[in-house]
């Protein structure tokens, strides 16, 4: 009895998803899935070949999508790789072309000035309305709108539940619950053996299943009383201002524009490649994301505590993303668009035989001794050599030339 009073009870938490199987169009995985995710980001009915939406998922530099089957349900898992990391898991049933939305779990990483990084999120549950095939939207965006509505525009922090025991090296996240787009309570999820939300280890700690009485106990008039902060309207860029806040707003919007173009180009390049090259491109893209985040974070940290640190970081993200855009265009068309070889040719002058190599090395600057960068550059140059016979040494120098500030 004394032990019970002094120690919070241990929750027997079984994983919510216990038999995750990938559902991709390539290979033999489609045999156990009625719907698959193809290489272009479309959910496709395996029997009819019909797409479940007119618009593909936005797979690219900052987004990855995977589709899994767990028993009779499917999970479209989306991971965002930007500094504001997020996980979205859309659970649905699929039978003979009929889509039944079951749940959307959303977890996002934020940073508090007082306590540092923390995870928060949402748990969106369906109403009785049928879900129709999306038109003009991707499947995930349409599902988000159907289940969550405007809930994602709010950041709701659920107080920690001290009455349950969280194992070491694990993460517990309390989230508000929305049903029929109205807040009806809260739930807590455990990720055993992980400090980040992980689909395979996700377990229920409390209130994970909707009870009808919850809705009656939480009238709509009480929803606004929750501890929440509404997202403000998107601010506009003032190109004539040189104050730090305006430079940050403009820098963020500039980065978002080039990132959107990159996402579209990634899909085009992926569609132009053979299955084996598609697999390698996906691997190279992930290595580039790791490099970009680490590289620009280093620039950000080196500028602290100066007020210009966010500006430096956004400029780095935009420049690095623009450089990657050029590489993707190159892999699709065979035409490098960074002007590197043209500049080297002009520098060499008429004595091309002896001057070209020296000009190329001069443009590339000094060696960049970074293992994350080397993994990305080696993968990209391997593809460019195999596809277009670009000299491996020249390729590495050309890619150094694209680095922000040519470090």
Q: Are residues 267 and 222 in the same domain?
A: no
Please tell me whether residues 213 and 306 are part of one structural domain. Answer: no
Residue 161 shares a structural domain with residue 307: no
- pLDDT of 391 > 90? The answer is no
Q: Are 136 and 116 in contact (CB under 8 A)?
A: no
State residue 135 phi and psi, 5-degree precision. Answer: -130, 115
Whether residues 197 and 74 share a domain: the answer is yes
DSSP letter, residue 220: G
Q: Does residue 342 share a domain with residue 195?
A: no
Question: What sign for the dihedral angle of Cα 133, 40, 57, 27?
Answer: positive
Residue range 75-88: mean pLDDT, rounded: 84
Q: How many structural domains are present in the chain?
A: 2
Per-residue pLDDT reduced to its tens digit, 216-230: 333 332 333 333 333
pLDDT per position as a tens digit, 356-378: 566 555 655 556 678 888 899 89
Task: Tell which of 230, 264, 290 closes a domain.
Answer: 230
**Per residue in 138-148, pLDDT tens?**
999 899 888 88
Residues 207 and 313 in one domain: no
Asked whether the predicted pLDDT for residue 160 surpasses 80, the reply is no
Model pTM above 0.75: no
Residue 389 has pLDDT above 50, yes or no: yes
**CA 248 to the chain's CA centroid:** 22
Q: What is the DSSP string of 1-53?
A: -HHHHHSPPBP---BS--S-EE-BSSTTGGGG-SEEE-TTS-EEETTT--BS-
- Domain extent, residue 110, equals 9-230
Q: Is residue 236 part of a domain?
A: no
Query: Residue 139 belongs to what H/E stretch?
Result: helix 139-148
Which contiguous run of DSSP H or E holds residue 185? Answer: strand 182-191
| pLDDT computed for residue 61 by the predictor | 67
Q: Which two tokens stand for residue 1?
A: 């009895």
Question: What whole-number distance in Å separates Cα of residue 352 and Cα of residue 347?
Answer: 9
Q: What pLDDT score was predicted for residue 362?
A: 60
Residue 206 and residue 135 share a domain: yes
Instruction: Output the pLDDT for position 220.
Output: 31
Calpha distance 53→66 (Å, rounded):
16
């Amino acid at each position: 009895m004394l032990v019970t009073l002094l120690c919070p009870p241990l929750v027997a938490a079984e994983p919510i998803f216990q038999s995750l199987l990938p559902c991709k169009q390539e290979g033999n995985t489609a045999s156990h899935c009625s719907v698959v995710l193809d290489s272009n980001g479309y959910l496709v009915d395996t029997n009819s070949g019909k797409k479940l939406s007119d618009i593909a998922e936005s797979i690219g530099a900052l987004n990855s999508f995977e589709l899994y089957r767990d028993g009779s349900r499917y999970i479209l898992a989306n991971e965002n790789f930007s500094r504001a990391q997020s996980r979205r898991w859309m659970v649905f049933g699929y039978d003979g072309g009929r889509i039944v939305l079951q749940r959307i779990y959303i977890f996002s990483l934020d940073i508090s000035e007082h306590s540092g990084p923390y995870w928060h999120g949402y748990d969106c549950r369906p109403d009785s309305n049928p879900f129709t095939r999306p038109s003009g939207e991707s499947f995930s965006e349409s599902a988000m709108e159907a289940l969550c509505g405007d809930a994602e525009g709010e950041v709701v922090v659920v107080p920690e539940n001290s009455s349950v025991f969280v194992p070491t090296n694990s993460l517990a996240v309390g989230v508000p619950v929305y049903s029929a787009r109205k807040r009806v309570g809260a739930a807590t999820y455990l990720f055993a053996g992980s400090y980040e939300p992980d689909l395979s280890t996700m377990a229920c700690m409390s209130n994970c299943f909707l009870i009808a009485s919850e809705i009656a106990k939480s009238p709509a008039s009480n929803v606004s009383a929750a501890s929440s902060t509404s997202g403000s309207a998107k601010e506009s860029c003032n190109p004539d201002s040189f104050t730090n806040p305006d430079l940050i707003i403009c820098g963020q919007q500039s980065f978002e524009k080039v990132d959107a173009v990159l996402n579209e180009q990634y899909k085009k390049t992926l569609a132009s490649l053979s299955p084996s090259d598609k697999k390698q491109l996906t691997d190279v893209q992930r290595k580039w994301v790791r490099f970009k985040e680490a590289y620009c974070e280093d620039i950000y940290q080196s500028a602290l505590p100066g007020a210009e640190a966010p500006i430096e970081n956004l400029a780095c993200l935009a420049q690095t993303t623009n450089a990657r855009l050029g590489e993707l265009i190159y892999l699709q068309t065979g035409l490098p668009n960074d002007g590197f070889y043209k500049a080297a040719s002009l520098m060499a002058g008429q004595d091309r035989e002896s001057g070209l190599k020296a000009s190329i090395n001069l443009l590339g600057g000094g060696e960049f001794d970074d293992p994350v960068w080397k993994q990305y550059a080696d993968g990209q140059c391997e593809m460019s050599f195999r596809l277009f016979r670009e000299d491996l040494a020249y390729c590495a120098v050309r890619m150094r030339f694209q680095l922000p500030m040519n470090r």
